[in-house]
Every structure is written in structure tokens, then in C-alpha cells.
Amino acid sequence: MADKKAQLIIEGAAPVELPVLTGTVGPDVIDVRSLTSTGHFTFDPGFMSTASCESKITYIDGDKGILLHRGYPIEQLAEKSDYLETCYLLLNGELPTAEQKAQFVSTVKNHTMVHEQLKSFLNGFRRDAHPMAIMCGVVGALSAFYHDSLDINDPHHREISAVRLVAKMPTIAAMVYKYSIGQPLMYPRNDLSYSENFLHMMFNTPCEIKPISPVLAKAMDRIFILHADHEQNASTSTVRLAGSTGANPFACIAAGIAALWGPAHGGANEAVLTMLDEIGDVSNVEKFLAKAKDKNDPFKLMGFGHRVYKNFDPRAKVMKQSADEVLDLLGVENNPTLQVAKELEKAALADPYFAEKKLFPNVDFYSGIILEAMGFPTSMFTPIFALSRTVGWISQWKEMIGDPQLKIGRPRQLYNGETLRDYVDIENR
């Protein structure tokens, strides 16, 4: 909706009038699509001030530390909903009725198995390959198995691809883990909930099927909810850009997994544990805070800071509360890693450097502590993030592909390389 105008005065040129668009909440945007007619581009590396699309899925207010999924606060979803209900909400825009929820859960359960031949893809990887490397490859390979649902212009194909991805990611993540430790792959079970099933496939073996702790399953489900979607972050923007070319949804999600892997993004949860282990003891916290503040030291406090949140990441608050609950349940009180994390958070929040730069704990700061206490190796932390975020990626992909104004994403540049010059034969160089 454009009811305001912005005026751009470019020296030596006539003023340019640009529409200002207003959403339902959040900052207005200046529509610069007509700017090319002036012979100018906008310049915004890292997209710090750029809205790449319109969306109805997730809203973040970074200054107030607010995160809404289809209008519902993340705190309420984490407390009252469950992951598959949140998936339904993200995919369809509304919370399901009891009947809709039962139908959705049943549909997902009936798509949790992967094609038996997909398992042979694992054998191409070394056992010690990073799980994210395998996950990228295997998820991309899914497009080789679903020729019946790759017409992205068919809403039913988009729907079934979304369900298949949500349903199969836990199976694939568990397969990748079992392969890395040389244990037999576990089949999914339809008598278990989504989170129980994942813990079953991860930690049970054909020799012994232990019951899944309902408290750990609830903690797992909450971790899935907290990572489900997050507006136009780097990996979601990657999925949208790949999708804008018409690439199939499995290839787009594989691209999102690749982008998430970076330590500045989803790889941070693994990097937090590595950092906490390196700090080792609360007595070393001040030394590492000094390193994080030292411009000449590349060390950063992993799990701290955020492009959008300049206040507490609301997910971090829920995650911290969950960490206390899970560690108490597991009888892991006085967990040294948790003690270091709490001391590090307390010292950083009291430090002017972090206060001035508005650096607060983000979603990755506490998640790894819970996952480690639950028995996951650090190499599985980002695959679990990818598993959880798949519903966000595919919801954003569906929204984009369903937009009649869809255009291929193709940014321009500020060129400051060589201008036109003639080729020089080698003997004259």
C-alpha cells in the first residue's frame, strides 16, 4: 500500500519521487524499483537496509526482541503449541482445528520413510564426513526420487514437496548420524510423535528399543519450534533466490542447508560449544571477553550478537529456561559448560562494549548446551537446526512461488574494476 512518497535529490538530475509502502506492522519501505530509470542502483552490501520481498509469515522487532509467527508470539508457541502444529501454522497461515491437525500429523507420518536407494548415497561419504556435508548432498539428491512432484507451478506438487521435506528431514538427519558412528540405520515409527521419532531414530538400535523420555521429547520439540523460521535470514534468502530461478524445492532446501552451515549463521551453535570448551573454566571468562573486544583479535563471542536483534533474542530466553529444566532432569546440575555459559553471559551483559554494540545472546547460545546434555555430538547441532528450519524455508519458498509477481532474483553491482582495454599478446606483456 503506497500512500506516502519519498523524494530523492540527485545532484545534476531532476528530483525522483519514490512510493513509500506500508505493511501491517514494522518499518515502511521505499520502493526503489523505478530507480533504474535514473541510471542509478541502490548500494547495500549485506542487505542491511533492504527488504527483499513482501511476506506474511514471520515478523521480528529487533529493538523490542519480538518474534511472531503468523502473528503468534514465539513464547506462546513454545509453551502451548508443538512443532507439527507450528509447521501447519507456518505453511497455511492459521492454527489448525483438531481435525486439520490430526490429518496433517497423519500425512507427515506417512511420508517419514526415504526411498531405500537413498541410503546408498551415504556410502559415497567417508564415515568422518561432517554431517552437514552429507545432509547437503542427500537432500539435494531427493529431487532425483520425486519426479511426480517437481512441477512447482502445480499447488499440489508444492504441497506434497513441503510435506515430504518436513517428514523426511528427521529420518535423514538420524541416518547421517548413524552412518557416522557405524550403527545400523533406524526406520521411523508411526506410533511415535515427531520428536519422539527423531530421538528413537537417533539413539535406539535394532538390539534395544528404549522408551523415549517424554520430557526429552518435549525439550526436543521446543528446540524444533524455536528454530522453525526467522524472516529473511541468510539461508532463507538463499532458498528464495534459488527458488526464484524455478529450481525444484529439494535443490532449494539443499542450498539453504549449505548457507546455514556457516559459523556466522546456523553453524554458530556448534561453534558456541567449541568456544565454551576452549574457555574451559569460569576463571577464564574475563580473558576471552577481552579477546572478543580486541579489534586485532578475530575471536568473537559465538552465540552473541545478531543482525536484527538489538535486544534479547526471545528464543534465547526460552532456550535458557529449557537448558535449566533439561539439565536438572538429567541430573547434570553444575554442568561446567553451563556454568561457563552463564558466567560469560553475565559478564558480557555487564560489559560496556557489548552494551554499546547491543550484543545479546542469540538462539545459538544455549541450544548447544541442551543438545550436548541430551547426547548429541556437536557435529549434529547444525543438522538439527537445518531439520527445524526446513519448514520455514519451504513456507517462504511456497509463499514466493505462489506470488504472481515472482521475478528471478538478480542484483546488480557497483563496478570499480578495469574499464575497456585491448588484449595484449603474451610477447608484448
Catalytic site positions: 265, 306, 364
**Of residues 109, 158, 265, 317, which one binds ligand SDX by CB under 6 A?**
265
Query: CB 299 → ligand SDX: shortest distance, Å?
Result: 8
Q: How many CA atoms lie within 13 A of 331 on its CB side?
A: 0
Separation between Cα atoms, residue 274 and residue 161, nearest integer Å: 36
**Of residues 135, 302, 338, 386, which one binds ligand SDX by CB under 6 A?**
302
Separation between Cα atoms, residue 222 and residue 319, nearest integer Å: 8
Separation between Cα atoms, residue 51 and residue 55, nearest integer Å: 10
User: Which positions from 341 through 400 interact with ligand SDX, judged by CB under 6 A?
Assistant: 357, 359, 362-364
Q: Is 110 exposed, middle or buried (0-12, 13-18, 19+ CB in 10 A)?
A: exposed
> Closest by alpha carbon to 4, among 14, 176, 414, 27?
27
Query: CB 307 → ligand SDX: shortest distance, Å?
Result: 4
Of 130 and 265, nearer to ligand SDX (C-beta) is 265
User: Which residues are bridge partners to 234 per DSSP?
Assistant: none
Cell representation of residue 43? 548500494
Looking at 145-153, 248-256, 263-271, 393-401, which segment touches ligand SDX (CB under 6 A)? 263-271
Query: CB 287 → ligand SDX: shortest distance, Å?
Result: 14
Of 25 and 264, nearer to ligand SDX (C-beta) is 264
**Of residues 101, 115, 189, 300, which one binds ligand SDX by CB under 6 A?**
300
Contact between 270 and ligand SDX by CB under 6 A: the answer reads no
Query: CB 194 → ligand SDX: shortest distance, Å?
Result: 20
Question: Looking at this protein, which amino acid is placed at residue 328?
Answer: D
Of 203 and 381, nearer to ligand SDX (C-beta) is 381
Name the strand (E) or helix (H) holding 158: helix 155-181
How far from 158 is each of 228, 239, 338, CA to CA, in Å? 19, 14, 42
Of 201 and 341, nearer to ligand SDX (C-beta) is 341
Query: CB 252 → ligand SDX: shortest distance, Å?
Result: 16
Contact between 268 and ligand SDX by CB under 6 A: the answer reads yes
Cell representation of residue 147? 519426479
Separation between Cα atoms, residue 102 and residue 121, nearest integer Å: 33
Looking at 182-190, 296-304, 319-327, 414-422, which segment touches ligand SDX (CB under 6 A)? 296-304
What residue is closest to ligand SDX based on CB? Answer: 305
Separation between Cα atoms, residue 348 and residue 308, nearest integer Å: 19
Of 209 and 355, nearer to ligand SDX (C-beta) is 355
Contact between 307 and ligand SDX by CB under 6 A: the answer reads yes
User: Which positions from 230 through 259 interact with ligand SDX, judged by CB under 6 A?
Assistant: 230, 233
> Closest by alpha carbon to 325, among 230, 428, 223?
223
Of 118 and 268, nearer to ligand SDX (C-beta) is 268
Per-residue binding letters, 164-203, with ligand SDX (x by CB under 6 A)? ----------------------------------------
- Total residues at the site for ligand SDX (CB under 6 A)? 21
Separation between Cα atoms, residue 203 and residue 43, nearest integer Å: 49
**Of residues 306, 317, 320, 398, which one binds ligand SDX by CB under 6 A?**
306
Of 144 and 355, nearer to ligand SDX (C-beta) is 355
Q: What is the dihedral of CA 379, 380, 381, 387, to 10 degrees?
A: 140
DSSP secondary structure string, 41-73?
A: ----GGGTT------SSEEEETTTTEEEETTEE
Cα angle for residues 195, 197, 198 (degrees, 5° grid): 65
Residues lying near ligand SDX in the complex (CB under 6 A): 230, 233, 264-266, 268, 292, 300-308, 357, 359, 362-364
